[in-house]
Amino acid sequence: MTAPVITYRLQHLRRTHSLTQEQLAQQLGFKDRQTLSQIENGERKLSSAEMVRASEIFGVSLDYFTDPFELAGEGHFSWRENGTKPEALDDFELRAGRWIAAYRHLSKLKGDVINSSTRRVALNHQSTFEEAIAEGEAMGKALELGSIPSKKLAEALVDKLDTLVLEVDTAQGISGAACRLNQLNAIVINRQETAARRNYDMAHELFHLITWDTMPPPRLDIAAPTDKKAKRVEQLADNFAAGLLMPTALIEKLIEASELAKGPELVPWLNSHAQMLGVSAIALQWRLVNMGIINKACMVSEDFIKNNGDSQRAKPPAKFGRKFMEIIGWGLDEGHVSVRRISSLLNVTVDELATIFENHALPIPYDL
């Protein structure tokens, strides 16, 4: 690791432990605060002995300072969760951070560009829901998502915006997250959710990534926040996702092709068309309400359209994502990382690791 990264990690530890430069300098055995100030300003390197002492002070391993497979405070996460225990969320964030850091490190070694593109959107806290919908529709056109946006969304995020998409098994209660680094954007999705929920969460987290500067999301992105400003941001994100996944022109075309029934006959129309769009029937019904096509009095009970009329869940997508596994495979083939290290990183056996490559139709690295 470079000296600036080591210095950043030391500074991050100091700040998260609420220590002043003077307090940490004293614990490190420096004569004065100025020595630590020089280290944090990049004017002096942290010696090996000082690094060992720092790891003892903060109760971390030396790997914290030297391991490129650590984010160590660089990444900013916004987690969409419901009732996840704080310690479980903290633990999973560390794991997700290591996946993202590994991808970044190996991509740099390979010479790949990892500067995520961020399309500008004219949205802020004062924006209307209609403006958020319009920006969602515009994003769908810019990404060339085609007639059914949900089918190409994940691929477009990776190929057109250089955003890492990880579909993984998360801790209980976590449905997804947006992660922002200086160079790289990432979206984490719970692959065990329904396809409709995964698509919605992906669009929702995309909103947070492209509005991070104007409307930075909280670490815990709950569905019904009590804070007015946070609630407004979530409502805008929901409308953006609706516009992206269910653009006006597409909904109107579907209604023209198959006349919209009312009352109980609306149920099969919602269920079948939601399945086609890769969204939930509940979300589709609200989209019709917001477009003025049906009014609230005509809405059918959500009990009839939960799971789009189907209680069976489709097989989840292969773990981690093809782009991520391509980089991991390259790192293994080139000898930049060992099979044991990757198995530990991904928390899988060697046999399971080989299966993940097969599930993505990727060649199995020689060492496997």
CA 237, 242, 243: angle at the middle one, nearest 5? Answer: 100
In this model, does residue 322 exceed pLDDT 90?
yes
State the pLDDT at residue 250: 96
In this model, does residue 311 exceed pLDDT 60?
no
Q: For 123, left (φ over 0), alpha (ψ -120 to 50), or beta?
A: beta
pTM for the predicted model, two decimal places: 0.89
Pairing outcome for strands 174-180 and 185-190: antiparallel
For residue range 179-193, list pLDDT tens digits in order.
998 889 999 999 999
Structure tokens at 199: 């698509």
Q: Which of 111, 9, 64, 105 is nearest to 337 (CA)?
A: 105
How far is it, in rounded angstroms, from Cα 50 to Cα 271? 62
Q: Which of 44, 319, 4 is nearest to 192 (CA)?
A: 319
Residue spans of beta strands (DSSP E) within the chain: 76-81, 164-168, 174-180, 185-190
Domain map (residue ranges) of the chain: 3-66, 74-245, 248-309
What CATH architecture is 74-245? Orthogonal Bundle (1.10)
For residue range 341-356, list pLDDT tens digits in order.
999 999 999 999 999 9
How far is it, in rounded angstroms, from Cα 362 to Cα 355? 10
Q: Which residue has the tokens 């789009």?
A: 308
| Contact assessment for residue 354 and residue 362, using Cβ atoms and an 8 Å cutoff | no
DSSP 8-state symbol, 95: H
Average pLDDT on 139-149 reads 95
Q: Is 44 helix (H, G, I), strand (E, B) or coil?
A: coil
Within 10 angstroms of residue 346's Cβ, the number of other Cβ atoms is 21
For residue range 216-254, list pLDDT tens digits in order.
998 888 777 778 888 899 999 999 999 999 999 999 999
Asked if domains 3-66 and 74-245 share a fold, the reply is: no
For residue range 158-168, list pLDDT tens digits in order.
999 999 999 99
Q: How confident is the model at residue 312 (pLDDT cuts 50, 70, 90)?
A: low
SS3 per-residue string spanning 252-296? HHHHHHCCCCCHHHHHHHHHHHHHHHCCCHHHHHHHHHHCCCCCH
Partnered with residue 205 across adjacent β-strands are none
Indicate the class that CATH gives domain 3-66: mainly alpha
For residue range 30-43, list pLDDT tens digits in order.
998 999 999 999 89
How far is it, in rounded angstroms, from Cα 216 to Cα 230? 9
Q: Which of 174, 173, 182, 242 is nearest to 207 (CA)?
A: 242
Pairing outcome for strands 174-180 and 76-81: antiparallel
Cα R_g (the chain), whole angstroms:
23
Write down the number of H helices and E strands in the chain: 16, 4
Average pLDDT on 258-267 reads 80
Backbone angles phi, psi at 287, to 5 degrees: -65, -40
Q: Which residue has the tokens 């269920």?
A: 271
Q: Which of 35, 39, 91 is nearest to 65 (CA)?
A: 39
SS3 per-residue string spanning 187-223? EEEECCCCHHHHHHHHHHHHHHHHCCCCCCCCCECCC
More confident residue, 60 or 117: 60
Partnered with residue 168 across adjacent β-strands are 190
